[in-house]
Amino acid sequence: MTRTVYVDHKWLPETEARVSVFDRGFLFTDAVYEVTAVVGGSLVDFPAHRAGLARSLAELGIPHPHSDARLLDLHGEIVARNGLDEGLFYLRVSRGSTDRDFLVPAGLSPHARHVHQGKAEVANPKAETGLSSSRSPTRAGDGATSRPAVAPRLADEGSGRAAPTTPCWSRRASSRKRAPPTSTS
């Protein structure tokens, strides 16, 4: 069965969904994602996931592509269109598409991709540990997001610093200690 996905304001069969090679999410991982479990056709912890998405987008300065009401409608519609009873709902928002440049030009429009995966969440051996496949250890317990779900390149996990609001490739590259050159003679 072909899944129906929602990509940049269009409902499409998964076989027709495309991402531009100039999308900053593709080029630089300049994107945010959020994963929501679906059990019994219902979204699990949706308010916490909505809040986590908003917080992550704000941290990176990416405009939110949907109002809260529209976001809930889209989640519900993709579950209904695909007859999803149990599985995962993936939402990825990138900053947008532009020529490849480390500097972020003004005026980009975010790109949103809504997809799902049918998958056992309840009858999952990891569910007994509180770490089902849709929850990382930082989300165990009440489902609240304890850190932004930002792409790994932009997060400074474990460093105690907040994720920067601009691409940080140069900051990281300059702060890395390089091994001294070795002589081969």
Residue 112 — φ and ψ, nearest 5°? -120, 135
pLDDT of 14 reads 93
Give DSSP secondary structure letters for 6-59: EETTEEEEGGG----TTBHHHHH--EEEEEEEEETTEESSHHHHHHHHHHHHHH
pLDDT, one tens digit per residue, over 97-126 is: 888 878 777 888 888 998 888 887 777 666
pLDDT of 28 reads 86
pLDDT of 171 reads 31
- pTM of model > 0.75: no
Mean pLDDT per 10-residue interval, the chain, length 185 residues: 88 92 88 92 92 94 92 92 91 88 82 85 65 38 39 38 35 38 49
4-175 placed in CATH 3.30.470.10: yes
